[in-house]
Structure 1
């Protein structure tokens, strides 16, 4: 069965004779159409530029103040260019909170949660979307209702449970909590995707003697890789930015994550703006690097379902 399958790219290369090549006249017409933008196109472009500037404004302010001295900030305000580049804020934050340790804690927690949540979501969705278990609609609804609960409502029950288990002030408590939270969304998304999976492929695999595990491993998993890669990136970034539950569960300074380290710079009545801006700026770098590494995978995963 698999030997007769031909990919879209192979099929295009095989059935692409010279008559599909555009003539110079057609190329000229296409270039002419691209140049003749309407007034609506220019208005849309202008609105997009304005929207992009509005979205970039907080980052620009952050960038301006991260390299100022406190005296420069107090004298010129937050929107002025720095008179001279100062790395004092970065140095202060780096030494005060032991930033490399906090980065490693965040990477370890976010990476482990992302992998475990994707795996758990995949197995749950296979049972609900393809396994067709009884009451799957009610199970999916219950998962989504649980996912809609605010974290404030879960703090005390989670505290009581993990305190009794001896996992309070333990990074594994954060891993377990957010693996379940993130997998709830992943289960809902993947079960919807698996529910539309072609039955003919599954029936053909069953006739060939494939077990449930082999169908999952050799048929469903390879096709779902783009979607799984998107979930992996989202779960990592979402867990990296979590603040409330890690703040309540991680008491020791050695186990805290980057967002908690940034919040430690702010007191009740005093805040070092330049150091906080430097801390916020440097905390973005790891997630930005992670996003750039998986950018191509993310774009492929988002657009995978648009091509049939």
Structure 2
């Protein structure tokens, strides 16, 4: 583990495991979580001989609970600062949900040689919000509801989300994993309310269309077909069309949190893409 301090004084916590001369894989977590959400993937790829890195986004986890800079340009700048600090070359950047938006913005602007490939999993691009350009998006009232629930009782909200739609535990016959629910809650409650509140706007209203068009590296778009958080029709199915070298892989019946519930399915597919 380590900490870097950005230009505005924010401390970004990160994990950096494995041989420093191995190919780096950088993981970008979703809202409102932390680097810990990638434990299954970090250990899988570490044991395959890769260098694995994951950071807590500003305002999340063990990073500074910032009241400013909680938007995509700054998130991407923080990633650039981390990759510069570690001098990563030929890295694979993997982002889930909000982290997928962070990957899109960072990779589109990354210095030459820093990035080899990218992966967007259950990711928010091109934009979650319903707009004239993207009429299939979700209405602003959905995100206003998130904000209201966060302000009313963040602790309860952070139980309701993983207990229900995030992992698909609200589906008939679903096998509910209480440990997974509490681990989600633990990660969420470690972050700052102000940063989490701001991030709702960042993940829902940021338009990544131009970022996706600017990405030149091979990019894998993975999405659960039963994703109740980021509906596939308004995200993955559109994003892959904007990418120069995009590949789409969808998973029937799998939820938004499939990296946790179905790591045994997701991890080998990630490995095949990285090695391919």
Q: Quick check: TM above 0.5?
A: no
**Structure number with higher helix proportion:** 1
TM-score category (smaller protein): under 0.3
Where relative contact order (Cα < 8 A, 6+ residues apart) is larger, the structure is 1
TM-score norm. by structure 1 comes to 0.21
Normalising by the residue count of structure 2, what TM-score does the alignment of the two structures yield?
A: 0.23
